[in-house]
Amino acid sequence: MPAITVDLAIIGAGPTGLYAAYYAGFRGLSTLVVDALPEAGGQITAMYPEKQILDVAGLPSVKGRDLVADLLRQAAPFEPDYLLGHRAERLEHVDGRPVLHLAPADGPGQDTRVEAQAVLITGGLGSFSPRPLPAAADFHGAGIVYFVPELAAHAGQDVVIVGGGDSAFDWALALHGIARSTAVVHRRERFRAHKASVERVRDLGIPVIVNAQVTAIHGTERVTGVALDVKDEGARELPADAVVAALGFTADLGPLGEWGLDLDHRSIGVDTTMATNLPRVYAAGDIASYPGKIKLIATGFGEAATAVNNAAVAIDPDAHLFPGHSSENP
């Protein structure tokens, strides 16, 4: 089992985890960021990369994907390591220090041991797993995706988006003018997506097919089309080079729930230093719980700084809790 030695291991590559990676670098800590998803960004990347976020201090409006990109750039000078597509399976303590055991999130593979001075859990609502598209169960070619990290990858393609939530309509809007064609397929007449997003999609002339089920995916090495069963219409075929299964994600604490953490439903109890009940294990962001907690990105940023500064002192008792202002750093 390969081993990684690091000062701070961050579990979760959402906004809180990425800001924590920056702040850990600012404190001079070597950092590893772990996430079960194959892309950084957590819930933002998985569910609403194109949606405007309006409540981040100093940014009147920012797209989700742009916020993630800026957080990655902010941390980049400190060269944090990223191990994406890996899930934190087990935590143990050796000589009072946390040791993580990681496994590939998508199936069998080589496990990794992480020997850390401290661990910060920033896993949002827990591990995200995409809801599968039943019709794709027997399809083993390329072209079935669950989120769209790069719009340009679908340039000139026929794209069928399955789902009725915000992410489905956000991606339909984002891909319009990039993809050759875009269609939204939903099994009901009503949508979970914001009404304004649905109206914009329809105003652009993007087909929205309701009361429809995807019954088959055509193609061998990659997607070539989809078969639909449409209520009151029957069988229908759509050309497709890619199918975006925007059916939502399930979230749970997964193995973290077995670590002995003080849990409140699906949240981890912390004190004012963001410390959990386990030695040198901290939590921040939506996964952290305390009286009066408000689950906002802005809250997570502050909690990340608090956690990292307190972890820095736990790692080196001679360190100062307050590191000074970033503007004083040459």
Residue 107: pLDDT above 80?
no
For residue range 109-124, what is the model confidence (pLDDT) as tens digits? 789 999 999 999 998 7
Residue 90: pLDDT above 90?
yes
Smallest Cα–Cα separation from 253: which of 286, 292, 280, 279? 286
- Mean local confidence (pLDDT), 134-156: 88
Burial of residue 57 (CB within 10 Å: 0-12, 13-18, 19+) is exposed
pTM attached to this predicted model:
0.78
- Residue 91's pLDDT band (cuts 50, 70, 90): very high
DSSP assigned state of 131: P
- Mean local confidence (pLDDT), 39-50: 80
Given this model, what pLDDT does residue 126 score?
61
Percent of the chain having pLDDT more than 90? 72
Q: What single-letter amino acid sits at 15?
A: P
- The first and second tokens of residue 117, run together, are 């001075």
16 is in an annotated binding site: yes
88 is in an annotated binding site: yes
CA–CA dist 183, 169 (Å, integer): 10
128 is in an annotated binding site: yes
CA–CA dist 143, 242 (Å, integer): 5
Residue 125: pLDDT above 80?
no
Given this model, what pLDDT does residue 248 score?
78
Given this model, what pLDDT does residue 330 score?
64
For residue range 181-206, what is the model confidence (pLDDT) as tens digits? 999 999 999 998 889 999 999 999 99
- The first and second tokens of residue 250, run together, are 């399930």
48 is in an annotated binding site: yes
- The first and second tokens of residue 174, run together, are 């984002």
Q: Are strands 249-252 and 158-162 parallel, antiparallel or unpaired?
A: unpaired
CA–CA dist 272, 20 (Å, integer): 17
327 is in an annotated binding site: yes
Domain with CATH 3.50.50.60 in the chain: 3-128+249-328, 132-245
- Mean local confidence (pLDDT), 96-120: 92
CB 160 within 8 A of CB 175: no
Smallest Cα–Cα separation from 41: which of 118, 114, 142, 149? 149
- The first and second tokens of residue 36, run together, are 């079960």
CA–CA dist 281, 272 (Å, integer): 13
- The first and second tokens of residue 92, run together, are 């143990």
35 is in an annotated binding site: yes
- Residue 127's pLDDT band (cuts 50, 70, 90): low
- Homologous superfamily of the 3-128+249-328 domain (CATH): FAD/NAD(P)-binding domain (3.50.50.60)
46 is in an annotated binding site: no
Given this model, what pLDDT does residue 173 score?
92
Tell me which CATH code domain 132-245 carries. Answer: 3.50.50.60
Average pLDDT of the residues of the chain:
92
For residue range 227-281, what is the model confidence (pLDDT) as tens digits? 999 999 999 999 999 999 998 777 677 888 899 999 987 899 999 999 999 999 9
CB 83 within 8 A of CB 110: no
Given this model, what pLDDT does residue 44 score?
84
Given this model, what pLDDT does residue 128 score?
63
Helices vs. strands in the chain: H and E counts, helices first = 6, 22
